A and B are shown apart, each in its own frame.
Chain A
């Protein structure tokens, strides 16, 4: 069990580490070559304003930089979610499969519980992305550099926030779609064929399985995946709000991550609370459309609440950055 988990973690990390190492090596190689060649300063001519809808070159350069980073983030997010969601499919054959009466049912159960537990790991990623958005806007030489160039503060803010948020949400959606495609490819549309009635072969010892199965039948997969996306948006905006609020009077780069570390425990707390509550998602989480356990989903209309809260947090963060000193 541990071995398979460890192996799967390594498989997960491998493309990320490989890409990272390749990038570092190529950067070092070009830097060494540049130092050897010692070419004079003859920069490439800039493309005309025709590209990218007439943006001035300053903003164009800034935007392109961030779109590139957003691309990497998107790929990483899609890979992470697809990996987490399909992990149960590949590590089956251990644990409770013997207790379950139906192979498809167990498959579906593993898939869904994998999805509900994914938010822990994703939230760490979201947290770091939010910090990576806030820090270069608020502290350090890079923040000061862009604050002293002729680009509006709003442009800097929206470029950073929207590129990262869009990349994460699109990456999550892509990862979910990929995982679903793999599931269908491996097992077919199992959720259509789940037996409604539990066969009586199970005895009184299997009461927990019966209860889980009952919840499983009423669990709505699309709602879970929608909840993943709205929770990403909500958590990101909340961290963004906290990180840009004027209450934090820190001037050094080092301090902010220390203040943010407690925020990393929030997703774990959410997970623990939701798993230890009886009868499905607690009411508070339902209002925020945080749907992380088996059971009936919250009403679809509730999904608008985290979206609205996220929009409010982001707007406040935008106003906070106007008054920030660097």
Chain B
């Protein structure tokens, strides 16, 4: 179903890796809105990581409206339609700013001109849309 890969020693906190990978899965269409996620304990056991870490990641994702928990039990991917308008543009910009800064630092380290950086970003966005389209068209067939 969903294959997550966590590296405990990479320097990025594990809960952050989890959040990022789930968001990535949603963005690339591997997870669709309404899909169930395995429970905190199952996810922790499958990944061999601390359940509190998974709980923290799930809590953050729920706060951001990416996933929702049903009172009877069970975690599901939230409908993306409900997600996007819930966040103001300023909030979205605030979220992406650190990533942009990191990209800027790396680019300046490698002495890559900014036009190339823009091209890189556009290519990545296009690839994402393309993969989502092929997935949904694949499902139709």
Direct A–B touching, Cβ under 8 Å: no
Show the binding face of B for A, using Cβ within 8 Å. Answer: none
Show the binding face of A for B, using Cβ within 8 Å. Answer: none
